[in-house]
Structure 1
Amino acid sequence: MGINQTMIKNLNILIFIFLISTFVYPNRIVSGTVIDCKTNLPIPGAEIIINKNQLNQKPKLTDFDGYFELDISDDTKEIFIHYPKYKEIKITISDSKNLGEIILFKRGCKSR
């Protein structure tokens, strides 16, 4: 009988810790599509970097359609998008969950 009570107590503690962690570290999901400025085609494999100052961070990649979804903390204010031969772009995160289309520019593209 003592073992079952101990297991229930430990399970309650584990559930409590899980619930607290979801409130302490609130996250949100933001999404968008990365496209080329001249062709309006999606750019698959573009790197999405959440924290540029973190050394061993593995970047997220856009899928075949240029789409990405990121699970970011509420204190994240900007992301960086990088693709070879394109200018790196900094995106400021607002309260919006959908960033819409993000246009990458080659050297010859003009801003729209």
Structure 2
Amino acid sequence: MSLNAAEAFLKEAAVAIDIARENLDETTAGQAPVSVDSAKYVATEAVIEVTSALFELAGTSSMDERYNLDRHWRNGRIHTLYDPARWKLHRVGNWILNGILPEDF
């Protein structure tokens, strides 16, 4: 389910970026990163859920080094930590709750 949500948020972010490119002003320039931040947050949740489900379905033998499946969880987790989702959530919440667009766009 979260994978579908991540895909939907990614499409929404792409549209927001396209709109900003076509009609760049303070609002569109601020709304594009808020959309991207939303997609990043939802994708972070999805990668953790999907990779965890992989091991639940495959069982303990899937952790055998010869399969190297743990790389999927590790790679996904590294991406989630590189640009922390909690900061994305803060920026999105600041927009939704306070109407304040990010200043660092």
TM-score with structure 2 setting the length: 0.29
Would you tell me which structure has more helix in proportion to its own residues?
Answer: 2
- Bigger relative contact order, structure 1 or 2 (CA pairs below 8 A, ≥6 apart): 2
Would you tell me which structure has more strand in proportion to its own residues?
Answer: 1
